[in-house]
Structure 1
Amino acid sequence: MQAETDEDEQEDDDEVKKEAAATSSNQYTYSHIQPKMSGLSRRRPANKGNSETADPNNPVNDKLKNNASSASLIDDRSDTKIAYDPEDIVESSRGRKCPLLTLMEEVLLMGLKDKEGYLSFWNDNISYALRGLILMELAMRGKIRMVNDPARKRFDLPDRLIECVDSKMTGETLLDEAIKLIKTDDSHLSVADWIDLLSGETWNLMKMNYQLKQVRERLAKGLVDKGVLKTERKNFLLFDMATHPIQDPTPKRRTAQRILSLLTNRNFIIEYDEKFFPEAAGDKYLRSVCLVCGCCAANVLENVLVDLGFDARDQAFVRVDELLSQYSEYPFADKQPASGIGINLYKEVQKEIEQEHADPLSMEIVAAVINVFWKMDAII
């Protein structure tokens, strides 16, 4: 009897050992699979072991291939596919379409004395014009637009309300600061109101902190960082002042040539610069129009036209008046220039607006700022 009991206990022990061995074997298997299951894996577009997806005529296979191609990149160094967010690539491509210099920096360069490194002390218009150019730059980058309300058409362009639609930072300090101000303001102010607030020309004490301060100095420091200007300190009788002479004359020379070509040539042809104004940049012709209008409003256009003859200079100013009149409304007016200068400009502007799929509400802001520039003498 005792022997049978011992045999039963021995059999029970053997069964327990077998179960423990099986359990340990399963644990090893799960621990071996777990790292593979915990990582992220991308579904492959085609599976050789699956006849359904291996069929080249299967539409499901084509869809999987398209999804795979839009969700991966091939690393040239290792020839491996890397997961990425397609929206990041879209944003980076948009960033590459912007020239190295903003409209504000180009206008500042036109007014800056090459060797002295400072602006004219008697120029009171440039500060106000720079604030309008900030709104122009944001509109062409797709950051702001008019509030989409059909009732807005009852008001003039400068009196229409604007809103922020893309609050992602641009890397330009002044533009980013303006984006934050427009984004955090819930009242949806008009174009003219925003130019006044950014300039500090307001009696509203609640909006005094909206003023962008030291805009010219900050733009000059940005040009120093981009290698266009350099910083020096000069003594002006009783005090020292930081000045920013020209270090690389190429961008200023190319910008002046673009302005002269727009105001003097029968056909406006842009000479591209791979570093500062590449051919891949967006809104090239419209940017040139905004540049000329901004230079006129900032009272620095004469610096560009100083080498022209008397008649050519007068004709250039007549052409500027035509541009201010034509592009101060939206849709832009199809007016043939009476001066016979830049007869291809309107077609080129319309072509790039269609190709870039520009938002009409953003283009309204560009026209509104030009409208403010056109009436700037009465405002100031």
Structure 2
Amino acid sequence: MSTSGLTKRRGGGGNGGKQLTPKPRSSNDYDEDYNNTKLDNNDNNMSQDHKIGYDDKDIKQDLQINSPLLTLMEEVLLIGLKDKEGYLSFWNDNISYALRGCILLELTFRNKITLINDPARRRFELSDRLIQVINSDPTGEVLLDEALKIMKNDESNLSVTNWIDLLSGETWNLMKINYQLKQVRERLAKGLVDKGILRTERKNFFLFDMATHPIADKTSKEYLKNRILSLLIQRNIDLDSISNDQFPKTTSLKYLRSIALVCGAYAANVLENILLSLNYDKRDQAFARADELLTDFSEYPFNLNHQSPLGLGLNLGQEISNEIENSSLTDLQLELIAAVLSVFARMDSIL
């Protein structure tokens, strides 16, 4: 796979195809040209009548991005944690891989990474398209900054699947084995402790002690539950009505971010923890709706015109169209979000 983008070059104007034979030039001619060049440069420097070309997308990039209190990784982990016990299911093999995908999603939502703008990329699957770092400024989140530094320092541009594999340690490439992010779940849990969402306890498990992180602030998980259920069981979705201090109305791309959360939780096999309060039929319907969302948003352009046969989320396509229109993210970044979700959609075949 080629890792280099295509570069367009614009040539200068010609002489209408005429071949001109240069005349011999004296040293006086060179002195005269030099003096004329100096005068022209001085005139240009003094002139204030400059015309500056710009692209509307460059202006759009400067719009402020408002991120919620919790990252997507923290939200998925919080959903998966047992409230009182404070640990994840020992049988969950999917969450580690899904969390690395959530790291790429979060970096995209924060305008740190994008796909390489190579027209040839359309020959490849979404998940095989190449990523580049466009803003390496720290985010203030330790895991995000560590992943961003790794991606920035890598000289080769790797695909979406490659990066999720490398950050997960799922690779035979010994030269890049150090790209694996270590102790991700424990570090995310400690971050939630610092934010006042969890607390730390030590529990004895037969032969060894283990740090656990029971929930200290139950309202945080209720906020997540309300937002996810709104997407999965409501006919019309209004996230403004359930906004809070952790996920305010001003959050950038709040509908698309919430869909990414549902898909991440679904891929990580923790979504069921949110749906336990529903009866069997409602729960089955909610899983079907989550599968619909993953299908609709794991391709690009997003399938915004799809009306669910379940009769749910009737206004979702319009809400997402509106927020994309007002967003600072480019089409390539939205395509990257779809690429990560496409990896989630086939995780059962990967793991």
TM-score over 0.5 for the alignment?
A: yes
RMSD: 1.5
Q: Name the residue aligned to 1:115.
A: 84
TM-score by length of 1: 0.75
Q: Name the residue aligned to 1:99.
A: 68
What secondary structure sits across from 1:241 in the alignment?
strand
Counterpart Cα distance in 2 of 1:113 and 1:310: 21
Q: Name the residue aligned to 1:139.
A: 108
Counterpart Cα distance in 1 of 2:158 and 2:327: 27
Question: Are 2:151 and 1:151 aligned?
Answer: no
Q: Name the residue aligned to 2:345.
A: 374
Deviations 1:332-351 (A, max 9, x none): 01211111111111111111
State the shift of 1:140 in Å. Answer: 0.9
1:264-279 → structure 2 map (5 Å cutoff): 264-270=233-239, 271-279=241-249
Question: Are 2:268 and 1:291 aligned?
Answer: no
Q: What is the aligned residue count? A: 290
State the shift of 1:234 in Å. Answer: 0.8
Q: Is the 8 A contact 1:131 1:198 kept in 2?
A: yes
Counterpart Cα distance in 2 of 1:369 and 1:266: 27
Q: Is the 8 A contact 2:203 2:209 kept in 1?
A: yes
Counterpart Cα distance in 2 of 1:221 and 1:232: 11
Q: Is the 8 A contact 1:139 1:362 kept in 2?
A: yes
Counterpart Cα distance in 1 of 2:152 and 2:115: 13
Counterpart Cα distance in 2 of 1:328 and 1:374: 7
Q: Name the residue aligned to 1:309.
A: 279
What secondary structure sits across from 1:350 in the alignment?
helix
Q: Name the residue aligned to 1:212.
A: 181
**Comparing both chains, which one has the higher relative contact order based on Cα–Cα distances under 8 Å and sequence gaps of 6 or more?**
2
State the shift of 1:283 in Å. Answer: 0.8
State the shift of 1:137 in Å. Answer: 0.4
What secondary structure sits across from 1:377 in the alignment?
helix
Between structures 1 and 2, the one with greater helix share? 1
Counterpart Cα distance in 2 of 1:362 and 1:283: 12
Match of 1:193 among 149, 162, 173: 162
Question: Are 2:337 and 1:336 aligned?
Answer: no
Computing the radius of gyration over CA atoms, which structure comes out larger, 1 or 2?
Answer: 1
Q: Which amino acid in the other structure matches residue 319 of structure 2?
A: E
What secondary structure sits across from 2:127 in the alignment?
helix
Counterpart Cα distance in 2 of 1:232 and 1:312: 35
What secondary structure sits across from 2:210 in the alignment?
strand
Q: Is the 8 A contact 1:145 1:164 kept in 2?
A: yes
Q: Name the residue aligned to 1:326.
A: 296
Q: Name the residue aligned to 2:333.
A: 362
TM-score by length of 2: 0.81
Deviations 1:356-375 (A, max 9, x none): 13211111111001101111
Q: Name the residue aligned to 1:222.
A: 191
What secondary structure sits across from 1:318 in the alignment?
helix
1:11-30 → structure 2 map (5 Å cutoff): none
Question: Are 2:216 and 1:258 aligned?
Answer: no
Counterpart Cα distance in 1 of 2:242 and 2:139: 23
Q: Which amino acid in the other structure matches residue 292 of structure 2?
A: E
State the shift of 1:272 in Å. Answer: 3.9
Percent pairwise identity = 63
Q: Name the residue aligned to 2:147.
A: 178
State the shift of 1:320 in Å. Answer: 1.1
Q: Is the 8 A contact 1:142 1:359 kept in 2?
A: no
Match of 2:252 among 263, 282, 285: 282
Q: Which amino acid in the other structure matches residue 324 of structure 2?
A: I
What secondary structure sits across from 2:326 in the alignment?
helix
Deviations 1:38-65 (A, max 9, x none): xxxxxxxxxxxxxxxxxxxxxx9xxxxx
State the shift of 1:213 in Å. Answer: 0.6
What secondary structure sits across from 1:242 in the alignment?
strand
Structure 2 residue runs without a partner (length 5+):
1-47, 49-58
Q: Name the residue aligned to 1:240.
A: 209
State the shift of 1:291 in Å. Answer: 0.6
